[in-house]
Chain A
Amino acid sequence: MSSTASPPRVEEPPFRRGFDPARHGRRAECDGGRHVPGTKFAGRQFFEGTLTGDYRDFGPYPWRWFLMTSLTKKPAGYGHEAVWCDESSLTLLDDD
């Protein structure tokens, strides 16, 4: 790689924090994924874990994201212990 210097950290996007007690401790699956950086492609990722109830609302719609921890299923090599999941990409396991 010839690029070695990082630009300044990008500021965090504005979001509103919140907590939904009804989601706290609920087990859920997330049909996740995101844009693959540097490409025109997207990549799917599947997670299963427990929602903490913490959420973040982005944008004016709002676009709600829940924090999932205690991951029991995650993509191979996924290096984090938690993941933020778009609300509508979640399926609550107890509701199936």
Chain B
Amino acid sequence: MSGPLHTPLCDKLDIEYPVVAFTHCKDVAVAVINAGGFAVLGEAMHMPDQIAADIKWIRDRIGGKRFGIDLVLPSSVPAEKTVDELLAMIPAGHREFEQKIKKKYNVPDPKTAPDIHHWGGLDQKRALQQLEVVFDERVPVFASGLGSPAFLLERAHQLGMQVWGLVGKPRQAKKLIGIGADGVIAQGFDAAGHTGDIGTFSIVPQVVDLARGTKTSVLAAGGVTTGRHLAAALALGADGVWTGSLWLTSRESDVNLPLKERLLEAETEDAVWSNCISGYTMRTTRSPWHDEWLSAEAPDVLKPPLQMILSSNYIQGSLDYQRKDLMTEAAGQGIHYVKEMKPARQILSDIIEEALDVFDRFAAKG
């Protein structure tokens, strides 16, 4: 296949379209791959046996096509305390503020209390155990959603795997390109979840310039939800796009229905950059929890992981009782264009059609 949408990334991954879906849902991943795109499954939360099971499940459904697994590699780790020590560090005033929010919005207690004693743990050990599965399974593409994959690149290449890294700064990209990473995801401030503070239109061409003349592919990320975004990313020199929010409301997505409805209603200004959920700054959809922590009477947000401990009952309660009015989810600023609950296959084909229209329009003017 040739044409304006056929980039070196398509050859590298043996795909039709340079669109990568980042998703936590296996069904979405399979649907996108079978429709001619590429998918990377986020497995940061999962234990090694679950990751292995998910890989098998995907392989059984994509007929030898390639796929990717994304993990979060830690890049800084403080000294840990026990959970009980952490609980004791939450000030009484913050507990009172949490209770006030729960009372004001009638937030139900979760059916099962969040199991905070099994959160996190020893970051390096957890990551190493997850990585062993990825290596054992020779996953075609390993993507690091946060830390640098430099230390594992040689082994991955020996096993015939590609290694990608997600960056928010040009200097992070420069390091990855310098060590021979196969792909760099240049993620702009528009993106969901943790982002750098550089906008997509600014970071993508800088990373493209850094990768020029190398074998590293550049994927544009952050706010990519339409074919016009895809066309723009290719015009900036990217080899493809990395998309996330786009797939949350797809028919295949396992996001629960009220939350899908909330996401379909969300506008760009609802995708707020705040540290009130976890203590880390991330982009999530606005909820009463956000509004209250932005109010003048709110106490200072606690450091991680105390703020996550504080917010966990609110979040779990909203999910357990399907309270759309309380729910929040990571979503990027491109959420404005996510307005229908379509099959993933159709989402992909709509993007492709729109991008081709853009190129046809420019060709006609030429």
Contact = CB atoms under 8 A, between A and B. Distances in A.
B362 interface: no
B303 A79 contact: yes
Interface residues of A, number: 52
B69 to A, nearest CB: 14
Contact of A44 (B148, B277, B280, B300): B280
B73 interface: yes
B78 A80 contact: yes
B2 interface: no
B125 interface: yes
Interface residues of B, number: 68
Interface in B107-148: 113-126, 128, 131, 145-148
Main secondary structure, interface of B, reads loop
A42 B44 contact: yes
Interface in A7-62: 7, 9-10, 12-13, 15, 30-45, 47, 58-62
Contacts of B87: 1
A33 B168 CA distance: 12
Interface in B281-332: 281-282, 300-305, 308-309, 312-313, 330
B24 interface: yes
Interface of B: 24, 42, 44-45, 72-79, 82-84, 87, 113-126, 128, 131, 145-148, 150-152, 154-155, 168-169, 171-172, 175, 179, 193-196, 277-282, 300-305, 308-309, 312-313, 330
Interface of A: 1-7, 9-10, 12-13, 15, 30-45, 47, 58-65, 75-80, 82-89, 91
28 contacts: A1-B116, A3-B83, A6-B83, A13-B122, A13-B124, A31-B172, A33-B74, A35-B146, A37-B305, A37-B308, A38-B116, A38-B120, A38-B305, A39-B308, A40-B44, A41-B278, A43-B194, A44-B146, A59-B151, A63-B128, A63-B151, A83-B77, A83-B78, A86-B74, A86-B76, A87-B150, A89-B75, A89-B147
